[in-house]
Structure 1
Amino acid sequence: MPSRQPPVAEPLAMTGASRARWEELLDGIAGLLPAGGADGLDVLVDGDGAQPALLAARLAAALNADGRRCVRLSPSSRLPAAGAGGDAGAEAVRLADGPGWRSSRHWDVVIVVRTAPTPAARGGGSRQDGESGAAIVVDMDDPGWPVIRRVAVPLAGHGRWYLTETRAFFAARAATWDTKFGDDMAAYAAAIAEAAIRRDGAVVDVGCGTGRALPALRQAVGPRGTVIAVDITPEMLREANCRGRDAHAALLLADARRLPLADACADAVFAAGLVNHLPDTVAGLRELARITRQGGRLVLFHPTGRAALGARHGRTLSPDEPLAAGPLQLSTRAAGWELTAYDDAADRFFALAVRR
């Protein structure tokens, strides 16, 4: 029988808020884990450094506390062969962590832990190549504030992780968002001008953040047009309000996947940095299509190109990412759009689609 590992010590920086964040994270992961079969469920927590062990220890404790039997595997543990059943399969969850396990067998669920990129990685290396095939990706750049950043589509519909994890990620960054990124409003204005949004029309900024696009969107539709700004994170909307951007738009707290807006109410949808955060790209784009009239426009934008943004975060690009040209063309078409422009330059990402 695999031996249980000793608990990992609490980080010195842990606060009440950090402990609450950890509880939310662990509840989210537990809700994503499928039920094990007769042989139980084999879960690997992979990644560099000490963080995978920290996550594995807390996840095992949380599962056991909730009555879902979990045992951590030691380096000397022997996993049963797939389909072996028997006593070894009686554990509901067998949990391994750290290097050396990935190639040992097929894992039912692989959780990859992201940590802060090294200077070499920021210079063009890749800290995230190991995320290929991962079912769950957890950002632990700050071990006191871990966040689920990506869930593979087969698991993404399970549990209540999306709202809590998205809000946790952006709430912690809202106050300093414009300090870090506020100098790119001219790039927003240029992209919105290029999109040629209809004058006097209605435009919805989905995932508006602190509202950097709102002055340009108001200028595009004019004083008789309608601008609605939607975000899932209250702290982001509060920053937009504090910066006076509510003068350009009605601010709405809502989930981009379930917009409280009527069918075909918008002439255009603007989405900056949204698509990569959607757990199901096609379903998310289909919801944007629902609120857009036939012939209306979808503007997907980021003030940094995909390659430059990836290098900033120490990762290389994958051809199957949602915003890669091929996958985006397929997903937009499946959701009711026709992709008409695609520009993934060094200094921006810009794609335009028309509602069919």
Structure 2
Amino acid sequence: MTGTARSDQPTAAALRWAEVLDLLAEVVPAGPAGVIIDGMDAHRGVVADRLATTLRAVGRSCVRLTDDAPPADRDGWRAGEVTVADGPHRRAEPPAGGWTVVVWLRTAPPVARAGADGAGGDRSGGAHVVVDLHDPGWPVIRHVDAALTDRDRWYLAESRAFFAARAATWDTKFGDDQPAYTAAVTEGGLPVGGTVLDVGCGTGRALPALRAAVGPTGTVIGLDVTPQMLAVARNPAVAAAAGLILADARRLPFAAAGLDAIFAAGLIMHLPDTDAGLRELARVTRPGGRLVLFHPSGRATLAARHGRALRSDEPLAEGPLRGSAGRTGWRLLRYDDPPHRFLAIAERG
């Protein structure tokens, strides 16, 4: 042994791709199935090739359907086989059995085309699986239809992968949002001397404002599911005399009714089940306690940034959010969604 790193060791990017491809292969139902890889990106064919290879490696009989494929492959599926194709032209002309799994590669946001197909023109709204491919070396699964697999199978690992890759540069990219955090905390009306939890605290941008709100006798705790985010949050936490906890927002490590307030910036849109998430937040909050939901961009601004149309059925739209709050033990007191920020304040019933 010379101590020199072996060049044949898989890179972090290779391991990440292997994890994503293994999960994609896992969600393809047994028996004959058609999988289409779509998206506004040249990576469609490469991903389709690699998925076909992965399916064969796990023992699935697989046909890789290309424009050069023989007619027998193009015209139908053989018993027990998986057919993998790519491209919008294939998706627009499905085989007789239809496409069993539609995978959308979400890359650099296109210009939103509201009304083109109900999903900002990118057609991801009709996909069974959405893969974030803004960084081709670091794919992250952002959506899987519940009919294909249990959310717990992919949600936690993929959420961590998404934020881990962004933790080091998060504050550089979004550092000018700090005044908006402070304003949101101030408007939340948090109790002096109370115990407040910042769920999904990220790099800890809200911790100083939360400390100022509850005062020196209060308790401030930041919680996040991504270790890399908490590592960046360490210095702000020390300055704010706040504790940090690594945990899943869906399974909070707190007793019932033990908190006076919860602050959650950008959390709800990342939870796979809004009602279940709000219900867990309600469980740990005392009657009369506060919930402050915040984002430093309004919903319309955020949708435009991501190249999609704003929809009235989204979890943070006023109607759906008011309904979710009522079903899960909250009473929505305030709803504010101008372009420059989103703020909703609720009280525990």
Q: TM-score, normalising length from structure 2?
A: 0.87
The aligned counterpart of 2:286 is 293
Q: Give the match for residue 149 of structure 1.
A: 142
Matched, 1:89 2:79: yes
CA–CA distance in 2 between the matches of 1:222 and 1:28?
Answer: 46
Q: Which residue is 1:12 aligned to?
A: none
Question: Match of 2:323?
Answer: 330
Of the three residues 21, 30, 33, the one matched with 1:36 is 30
In the aligned structure 1, how far is the partner of 2:250 from the partner of 2:169? 26
Query: Which amino acid in structure 1 is aligned with residue 11 of structure 2?
Result: G
Deviations 1:111-139 (Å, cap 9, x if unpaired)? 11111135x559xx986541112221111
Aligned position for 2:89: 100
Does 2:16 match 1:21? yes
Q: Which string of whole-angstrom CA distances, capped at 9 and with x for unpartnered residues, describes residues 151-195 of structure 1?
A: 334446246322221111111111111111111111111111111
Matches within 5 A, 1:72-87: 72-75=64-67, 77-78=73-74, 80=76
Q: State the one-letter code of the partner of 1:265.
A: G
Deviation at 1:218, TM superposition (A): 1.1
**Cα displacement (A) at 1:22:** 0.5
Distance 1:200 1:159, change over 3 A: closer
Describe the shift of the 1:157–1:336 C-alpha distance in structure 2 as closer, same or farther (beyond 3 A). Answer: farther
Amino acid of the structure 1 residue aligned with 2:209: A
Closer, same or farther: CA 241–259 of 1 in aligned 2, 3 Å: same
Q: Which amino acid aligns with 1:18?
A: A
Match of 1:185 among 150, 174, 178: 178
Match of 2:255 in 1: 262
SS in 1 for 2:123: helix
Letter in 2 for 1:109: V
Runs of 5+ unmatched residues, structure 1:
1-14, 81-86
**How far off is 1:20 after superposition?**
1.0
Name which of structure 1's ranges 272-281 and 237-246 shifts more when overlaid on structure 2. 237-246
For each residue in 1:282-304, what CA deviation from the matched residue of structure 2 results, as whole angstroms up to 9, or x when unmatched? 11121111111122221110011
Q: Does residue 289 of structure 2 align to residue 310 of structure 1?
A: no
| Map of 1:60 onto structure 2 | 52
Asked if the contact 2:196/2:220 (under 8 Å) is kept, the reply is yes
Q: 1:152 touches 1:279 (CA, 8 Å); kept in 2?
A: no
Match in the other structure for 1:281: 274
Shift of 1:243: 4.2
**Structure 1 range deviating more: 96-105 or 190-199:** 96-105
After TM superposition, give the deviation of residue 274 of structure 1 in Å: 0.8
TM-score under structure 1 length normalisation: 0.85
Q: Deviations over 1:62-96 (max 9, x none)?
A: 1221223332223454454xxxxxx72321x3222
* Partner residue in 1 for 2:3: none
SS of the equivalent of 2:272 reads coil
CA distance in 2, matches of 1:171, 1:101: 34
Give the aligned residue type for 1:143.
Answer: P
Residue of structure 2 equivalent to 1:214: 207
Matching residue of 2:347: 354
Distance 1:289 1:156 in 2: 27
The amino acid that maps onto 2:285 is T
Instruction: Map Cα deviations across residues 186-235 of structure 1 (whole Å, 9 max, x no partner).
Output: 11111111110122111111100000001111111111111111101111
Q: Distance in 2 between matches of 1:167 and 1:108?
A: 28
In 2, Cα distance between the equivalents of 1:192 and 1:156? 37
- Equivalent AA in structure 1 for residue 29 of structure 2: A
1:146 to partner: Cα distance: 0.9
Residue 34 of structure 1 and its aligned partner are, at CA, apart by 5.2
When residues 79 and 207 of structure 1 are mapped into structure 2, their CA distance, relative to the original with a 3 A threshold, is: farther
Task: Report the counterpart of residue 161 of structure 1 in structure 2.
Answer: 154
Aligned length: 330
Distance 1:321 1:156 in 2: 22
Task: Quickly say closer, same or farther: Cα 1:34–1:290, change in 2 above 3 A.
Answer: farther
Alpha-carbon RMSD: 2.4
Contact persistence 1:153–1:279 (CA under 8 A)? no
Task: Tell me how far apart the structure 1 counterparts of residues 203 and 171 of structure 2 sit (CA, whole Å).
Answer: 7
Aligned to 1:47: 39
Q: Tell me the equivalent position of 1:10.
A: none
**Aligned match of 1:83:** none
